[in-house]
Structure 1
Amino acid sequence: MKLLFIFIALLFTSLYAENYEMGRGLTLSEKLHVGGYISTDYESSNDKKQFRLDDVAVLVYGRVLPELSYLVEWEATPFYQKNYTTEAEEYNPRFYYERAYVDYAYSEMFNFRGGKQITPIGYWNLEPINVLRDTSSDPLYSYEMFPKFLTGLDIYGYLNESASVKYHLFGQKNNNLDDSTLNIQADQFFAISLEHEITSEFSYGGSIGNFVTKDKKHTNFIQLDGKYDAYPFVFQAEAAYNDNEDTLLDEKNYKTAGYAQALYHINMKHALIGRYEYFHDSSDSRTNNIGVLGYSYRPIYPVSLKGELQYNSDERLNKFIISFSVLF
């Protein structure tokens, strides 16, 4: 609850603080910045009509030395939700560690990040905050194929002097700092990721790795991605394949998932989005084909209002989502 009071105090005091900048938080010194974000959404489907105050988060970050910086993020999710179909309400004020890491910038070619951090794979996974994403929902690819976070070490930098090829070599062989809401609870995770920026508008890359979950499922995965970004158009696509072996049940299964998304900026504030998703899981012979039509409105960049229609090959999963999010 203390973090909630800090968040509320930040919200109100920042409105009158001279050293506050929307989206970057309150600057107390070079070593200490305090910010946060909230995200709400309303979902309507055949099964339910639900409102959520999904994310309430506090961010603390700064630069201790020219080469040493840190970030800590506490988040409560879903902070509050109400199902209007069943009239059930749920309140979850517990804040957990979403991220907590230190960065050491040694050179252009070698940098080190240690702690709980975003898994540096692809494009979608690098934007965990709702307000920064183009749609209210996440594609199935983004949380079914590999752990979204790791608690370990990432060595990263550029492979060449032209800074066109970036690499991440990361690993974990320990418990997570906080696995309360992790999509995949893995205590062993090793992978390498490469991204080649051909021009300022076009890049592509991929990742390959292995992780072991707490229930002893061994999974190998490979991932590919590409992005074209030239205003007013943005096109990006990602795909992944993984095979997992359950050593306890002596079973082998695989998953295939991917998405392709196009965005058109009507102007700097309004955008239209279209996305196609594919997902297949051999363990239950489940296949989903999903189409998403969305609209995004940003009066200013740290404030986002989004709406979308989802059409699923399983018609029971069709839904409408509208969300509002702010980065303070």
Structure 2
Amino acid sequence: MAFHAIKIFCRKPGAPVLGTALLGLTLAIPPLPALAQQETASPGYVLGEGLELGRTGVRIGGYGSAQWQQMDYEQTPASVSHFSLFLWSDIGPRLKFFTEWDNQENHTADHDHEYEREGSRFLSVERLYLDYSFSDNLTLRAGKFLTPIGRWNQLHADPLVWTTARPLLTRDLFPDNVTGVMAMGNTEIAGRSYEYMLYHSAGSQLQPDPTQTPFDHAYGGRLVMPLGDTLQLGISVARFEQNPGRPGPFWKHGEYKRLLAMDFMWAKHGYEFSGEALRRQSSAGAAHSEHGSFIQGVVPVWGPLSAVGRLEHISMPMMKQSLQRSVIGLNYRYSRAVSIKLENIHDSGPVGARSGLLASASVLF
């Protein structure tokens, strides 16, 4: 496979180079027929669907992402931001196994810069669970899995989302993962089909993410209602105990959080409009409550090229005022498995809010 070196020249952070840089990216991309030949060159393997290990029934896959950023006052050289490995297997007609291990790097666009460990790497167990399916109406899951709050957190693999930066509320207001048990499936209420998830964790996480404040004893649920073929509405509730590993005035030992979130997704002919809103209350009092929201739109531009725009808002006790973020970018998606992204982020609100450019290339294999 031929690799293309792509250079993006910037005069200063936030300079209007988005269109010029994307043109360079587009010209460097091989034509789609060439990609199709690459994907089908190996019989029995399709890019993005994993590879079976002999005749074991076990498949291996994953994704890798390279990321470059130039935020205010600093520039981070291109680096491998994620290398995630999946292993999964159907052990029997009802029992399934899945695990994801992710070697990832912290970036300023994903975390509050005051608490992050910029440039550090860590290996996380994102998922490690067994599923036992009784029927379409009931599947039991045990192990470590993604917390079913909103849509983004459950489908945040880099090649599958539209932007390099995650929405702020999906990083800061609830734990990404939970270790415990979950019941999920479909049920019919008043003649309408609903998807449900109910989960519980009696203790802390398996190998927790060091960038997140630790938590214990989480439980909650999610309900998704389809409204026709193009629109879905979701509601999520959760409760978990905060267990900070660092001293500070904003967290207390034994503090628990109650969370309510709503989300929607509309998609048709390549156009998408989605959003999430979340409010988190604390047992420590109203002064410790947080809330956030975002809306995002996707518009097809040409073939696999789409324009993406997102508006975000988040309010947390550690901030003297609310943070607003706007994201405007372009996503060139060869296929479901390969995408190149370029976006401009602009923050306003608290002192120290950052703005700049992000670019990434991701492959699901």
1:189 counterpart = 2:218: yes
Alpha-carbon contact 1:47-1:316 (below 8 Å) kept: no
Give 1:316 deviation, angstroms. Answer: 4.5
Contact 1:243/1:252, CA 8 A, preserved across alignment? no
- Deviating more after overlay: 209-218 vs 38-47: 209-218
1:24 aligns with 2:49: yes
The one-letter code sitting in structure 2 at the alignment partner of 1:212 is E
Classify 1:326/1:139 alpha carbon distance in 2 versus 1 (closer, same or farther; 3 Å).
same
Look up the SS of the partner of 1:35 in the other structure. Answer: strand
Query: Which has more strand, going by share of residues?
Result: 1
Instruction: Give the corresponding residue for 2:105.
Output: 78
State the distance in 2 between where 1:43 and 1:303 align.
Answer: 19
> Could you say what secondary structure the match of 2:159 adopts?
helix
Secondary structure of residue in 1 paired with 2:153 = helix
What is the percentage of aligned positions where both structures have the same residue?
23
Aligned to 1:235: 273
The Cα offsets for residues 138-175 of structure 1, whole Å up to 9 and x where unpaired, read as 11111122111101111011121867211111111112
- Secondary structure of 1:136's counterpart equals coil
Q: 1:145 to 1:95 in 2, by over 3 A?
A: closer
Match of 1:44 among 62, 70, 81: 70
Per the alignment, residue 20 of structure 2 pairs with none
Pair 78,284 (structure 1): closer, same or farther in 2 beyond 3 Å: closer
Summarize the Cα distance change of 1:206–1:251 in structure 2 as closer, same or farther, 3 Å threshold.
Answer: closer
Identify the residue that residue 249 of structure 2 maps to in structure 1.
none
Alignment length, in residue pairs? 304
Question: Is 1:104 the equivalent of 2:132?
Answer: yes
Long gaps (5+) in structure 1: 1-13, 82-88
- Conserved 8 A contact 2:277-2:294: yes
1:67 is aligned to 94
Partner deviation per Cα, 1:285-323 (whole Å, 9 max, x = no partner): 331111110100012221110010111114751111001
Structure-2 change in CA distance of 1:27 and 1:192 (3 Å): same
Could you tell me the TM-score, scaled by structure 1's length?
Answer: 0.86
Q: Which moved more, 1:161-170 or 1:205-214?
A: 161-170
- Most deviating of 68-77 and 16-25: 16-25
Distance 2:119 2:232 in 1: 42
CA distance in 2, matches of 1:212, 1:255: 15
- Cross-structure match for 1:169: 198
Alignment of 1:207-226 (within 5 A): 207-215=236-244, 216-226=254-264
- 1:142 is paired with a residue of what secondary structure? helix
Q: Structure 1 residues 175-184 or 315-324, which shifts more?
A: 175-184
Q: After TM superposition, list the pairs within 5 Å mapping 1:1-328 onto structure 2.
A: 17-28=42-53, 29=55, 31-51=57-77, 52-78=79-105, 92=121, 95-160=123-188, 164-181=193-210, 183-215=212-244, 216-246=254-284, 252-314=287-349, 316-328=353-365
Contact 1:196-1:204 at 8 Å conserved across structures: yes
Deviations 1:103-153 (A, max 9, x none): 111112111111111111221111121111100101111112211110111
Query: What amino acid maps onto 2:260 in structure 1?
Result: I
Runs of 4+ in 1 over 6 A off after TM superposition: none
Q: TM-score, normalised by structure 2?
A: 0.77
CA RMSD of aligned residues (A): 2.4
Match for 1:166: what amino acid? E
1:236-270 CA-to-partner distances (Å, cap 9, x unmatched) read 01000001234xxx885111100000001224411
Question: CA shift at 1:64, angstroms?
Answer: 0.7
Provide the C-alpha distance between the structure 2 equivalents of 1:30 and 1:231, rounded to a whole number of angstroms: 39
Kept in 1, the 8 Å contact 2:48–2:364? The answer is yes
Question: Per the alignment, in what secondary structure is the counterpart of residue 170 of structure 2?
Answer: helix
For 1:324 and 1:107, the matched residues in 2 are separated by 39
1:233 CA displacement: 1.2
- The alpha-carbon deviation at position 18 of structure 1 amounts to 3.0
Give the secondary structure class of the aligned counterpart of 1:317: coil
Q: Which structure 2 segments of 5+ residues have no match?
A: 1-38, 109-117, 245-253
Counterpart residue type for residue 322 of structure 1: A
For residue 171 of structure 2, give the secondary structure of its aligned residue in structure 1. helix
State the one-letter code of the partner of 1:295.
L
